[in-house]
Amino acid sequence: MTLLRLSIAACAAAVLALPAPSVAADGQAKPASTSFAVIGDVPYGAAQIEAFPGWIDRINEQAGLDLAFHVGDIKNGSSPCTDAYSAMIREQFDRFEMPLLYTPGDNEWTDCHRTAAGAYNPLERLTALRAAFFETPGLTLGDPLKVDSQADLGFPENQSLRTAGVELATLHVVGSNNDRAPWTGIGLTAPTSEQLAEESARMAAAIDLVEETFARARRTDARAVALFQQADMFDPGYQPGWDLSAFQPLVQALVDEASTFDGEVYLFDGDSHVYNTDRPLATGSRWLAIHGVQGSADNLTRVTVDGEANNTNFLQVTLTRPGAGDVLTWERVPYDS
């Protein structure tokens, strides 16, 4: 079902007309279990752009899906960052027949300084991206659903909701050291003051949302917390010398919050393009030293979705009922199945 672009008033009416979903904002628990799809780093290049509508159709056909998440990078890093491209992706996103929460990646704004990407000012592209995908704060893409957002802080893309006793939130945290890497494509060899100020404010907002999500989870006796972002802060291909310094405050916040939470914690990301699941903040993990953080969090599971050329499937995540073991289980579902 293709949704038309709605005015703010029409969006509000559409939300009121929705049947009672199994998800909710404002910490209101719903009794039903749920299942959601996670994709990221797609579509990359002409062949995937052509296939993308069919992949959305395949997700729409999958039984039991109540939500979908796109964890960023809606294009590859060497193609132009045009408004027309964003409009095309937005049109496809609105074909999702369930609420879609999208958190931006670096390829659609941070890396747009690259010559092949159009040599744009990334901050200008960020403003355009928000206008293209988040013009109605607190409303999802796809089948519109009201959610909480940080629009009042200037970050409408940071969204949160509760479903089946699990608190979920999207965090706008991207690769390229969260946009602290110099914009070399437009002739700069060091980050600008405006660039650093934007990154600092966006990271502070992400950390605030992490803290708020865990506070709400404790207040509501949530079974788990699930967070979604683009940046893979624990890339298995890490090489000494990579600059990950921007992520340290967030990693420390995750350790602090997860280690003092009685439930399970899940972090879904993209960025590194290869499916992976691990516990990067567990006691003894090398990532504790790499990020220079104190403490550990044995209850945090990280899941990276397949992307780029590996994007032949979507991740279907199911929230189990209380007493059934792990709060979340998942499987990779091939598009051609």
Q: Using one digit for the tens of pLDDT, what is the confidence trace for 90-141? A: 999 999 999 999 999 999 999 999 999 999 999 999 999 999 999 999 999 9
d(CA 315, CA 35): 10
31-334, what's its fold? Purple Acid Phosphatase; chain A, domain 2 (3.60.21)
Structure tokens belonging to residue 203: 């990271």
Partners of 70 in the β-ladder:
39, 102
Confirm if 148 and 187 have CB atoms less than 8 A apart.
no
Q: If phi over 0 gives left and psi between -120 and 50 gives alpha, with beta otherwise, what is residue 54? A: alpha
Query: Residue 304, Cα to own-chain centre: how many angstroms?
Result: 11
CB atoms within 10 A of CB 195: 21
Over residues 33-66, the pLDDT tens digits come to 589 999 999 999 999 999 999 999 999 999 999 9
With a threshold of 0.85, does the pTM exceed it?
A: yes
Tokens 């003051």 locate to: 193
Which ranges of 112-246 does DSSP label H, i.e. alpha helix?
122-133, 175-179, 193-219
Closest CA to 36 of 327, 315, 322, 325: 315
Over residues 286-328, the pLDDT tens digits come to 999 999 999 999 999 999 999 999 999 999 999 987 777 789 9
Over 80: is that where the pLDDT of 10 sits?
A: no
Spell out the domain ranges in the chain.
31-334
Overall average pLDDT of the 218-246 stretch: 97
Q: Quick one: what percent of the chain has pLDDT higher than 90?
A: 87
Over 90: is that where the pLDDT of 245 sits?
A: yes
Confirm if 258 and 299 have CB atoms less than 8 A apart.
yes
Q: Given pLDDT bands bounded at 50, 70 and 90, which one contains residue 201?
A: very high
